[in-house]
Amino acid sequence: MPDRSVAPPIVDAVNFNLQLQPYQKYILKNGVEVYAVDAGTEDVLQVEWVFDAGNWYETKNLQAAVTNHLLKNGTESRNAYEINEYFDYYGAYLNRNCYAETATISLHCLTKHIKELLPAVKDIIAGSTLPLKEMEIAVQNMKQKLDVNLKKSSFVAGRLIDVYLFGAQHPYGRFSRHEDFDSLTREDLQAFYDTYYRNGSLKIFIAGRLPEQVGPLLDQYFGDLPNNPVKNQTFDVQPSAEKKHTVINDDKNNQGSIRIARPFFNRHHPDFLKCQVLNIVFGGYFGSRLMANIREEKGYTYGIHSYLLNNRYDNGWMISTEAGRAVSAAAIEEVYKEMAVLREEPVDAEELLLVKNFMMGSILGDLDGPFHIIARWKNIILNGVSNDFFERSIQNIKTITATDLQEMANKYLHPEAFYELTVV
């Protein structure tokens, strides 16, 4: 019997042996790949249908986003109201999202209802009608939302920094305008839907308490869909020639939205994992260098953080904050000072251990439950990295040294490499 008067030993998270539960893989009759994680204590499921149908593939701006939005607004057998009523009846939640490279339909439901719900999802994928009236309502709502957001300096800053990094014609740099909404036709949406949903490329991710024979069940409803590889497109990055930008969005605004960013590489680069750790030290968590200096010591902002963008192809390293208009320039200067410190001085052992424990603890939290586990696998699979990426990430955190971090800082944290934007 344990002695309750003696505290158990404290074990640093960096010493944990974290494992990512493997997935089961099924191949449907049409070649669609299904990745499944059978785990959890509750009889619930998450199913996600992932299409190569993001704005990377559109021929007109907003074509991907509006098409995705309208998927559940009417099919050949149900109108928008009937679709929502059907899923509500079973206590299920159906959503759709559009990203840079992919677009998704996601379903959360009780395991026992999956057989009733899969045919309705199949109906959406294969039989959406994209009604003109629903399109007009959606476009009007999106335009009104855009008008509201354009008054926010943070929204404008987020749009413009991507333009400076990638170029206005690059899928990562294009942003929505009223004239883009006005030029969009139902025929544009129908063409995109036919190409990238009804006849496009699909992957399925499912997690939770899986029903019996989940592979044959999915094959029954989705194994007859066309599954055609999508022709990948390439785009030239055309960054801004000018590195420093100031935009006046509202003369009366007392706050500035600051974005500092540089072009960067994706997960396939050999330095990516080391730079992930360096980013945490720099500005990736509440105890970071940027937070300690610019928030805690200087009081210029309520929060500042840095992160590596999550793009599949061209990428970036971003620093983001909101600061008082009068101190925005000073805040930017302090960002560059922290870059210099990381270049010139090695991170001490205590801080490095703290960062390693933070990162391991965060990953441990991300492994809590089947939905988090399948999200990890989805990120690995869709980005085309090897299945040992998780293990390599863990090993990198455990073994990285202060010397490694200083080397990365001297390679990548130079002010002249960064674009600088302040929107007030």
Whether 14 has a pLDDT exceeding 90, the answer reads: no
Which residues, 6+ apart, have CB-to-CB distance to 129 below 8 Å? 74, 75, 76
CB 46 within 8 A of CB 91: no
* Superfamily the domain 244-423 falls into: Metalloenzyme, LuxS/M16 peptidase-like (3.30.830.10)
**Is residue 266 a contact partner of residue 101, using CB atoms and an 8 Å limit?**
no
Q: What is the pTM of this model?
A: 0.93
Residue 291, pLDDT above cutoff 80: yes
Report CA torsion sign: 372, 373, 376, 381.
negative
302 and 145 Cβ atoms separated by less than 8 Å = no
Q: Which CATH number fits domain 24-222: 3.30.450.40, 3.40.50.300, 3.30.830.10, 1.10.3720.10?
A: 3.30.830.10
Residue 233 has pLDDT above 90, yes or no: no
Helix (H, G, I), strand (E, B) or coil at 27: strand
Where does the pLDDT of residue 231 fall: very low under 50, low under 70, confident under 90, or very high at 90 and above?
Answer: confident
Cα-based angle 47, 368, 212 (whole degrees, multiple of 5):
40
- 265 phi/psi in degrees, rounded to 5: -100, 165
The residue whose two tokens read 């080397």 is 407
Q: Are 50 and 204 spatial neighbours (Cβ–Cβ below 8 Å)?
A: yes
CA–CA distances in Å: residue 319 to residues 1, 70, 332, 365 = 52, 34, 10, 24
Task: For 138, list phi and psi in degrees, rounded to 5.
Answer: -60, -45
Average pLDDT over residues 399-409: 98
Report the alpha-carbon distance of residue 258 to residue 243 in Å, rounded: 13
pLDDT at 151 > cutoff 90: yes
Write the single-letter amino acid at 150: L
Q: Domain residue spans in the chain?
A: 24-222, 244-423
Residue 109 has pLDDT above 80, yes or no: yes
Residue 140: per-residue pLDDT: 96
What is the DSSP annotation of 307-325? Answer: EE---SSSEEEEEEEEEEG
pLDDT of 4 over the 90 cut? no
State the Cα–Cα distance between residues 250 and 153, nearest whole angstrom: 8
Cα separation, 326 vs 329, whole angstroms: 8
Query: Residues with Cβ < 8 Å from 222, sequence gap 6 or more?
Result: 28, 30, 32, 49, 118, 122, 125, 202, 204
Contacts of 110 (CB under 8 A, 6+ apart): 43, 44, 45, 90, 91, 92
User: What's the confidence (pLDDT) of residue 257?
Assistant: 97
Q: What is the mean pLDDT of residues 212-224?
A: 95
Say what angle helices 402-412 and 328-344 make with each other, to 10 degrees. Answer: 130
Q: What percent of the chain has pLDDT over 70?
A: 100
- Spatial separation of the C-alpha atoms in residues 1 and 354, rounded to whole Å: 33
pLDDT-derived band at 8, boundaries 50, 70, 90? confident
Asked if the domains 24-222 and 244-423 are classified in one and the same CATH topology, the answer is yes
Q: How confident is the model at residue 13 (pLDDT cuts 50, 70, 90)?
A: confident
Is 283's pLDDT higher than 80?
Answer: yes
How does pLDDT run across 21-80, given as a tens digit for each residue? 999 999 999 999 999 999 999 999 999 999 999 999 999 999 999 999 999 999 999 999
Q: Is residue 1 predicted with pLDDT exceeding 80?
A: no
pLDDT on residue 15: 83
At residue 252 the predicted structure's pLDDT band, cuts being 50, 70 and 90, is confident
- Mean pLDDT, rounded, of the chain: 95
**Phi/psi of residue 223, nearest 5 degrees:** -75, -10
Predicted confidence at residue 319, as pLDDT, reads 98
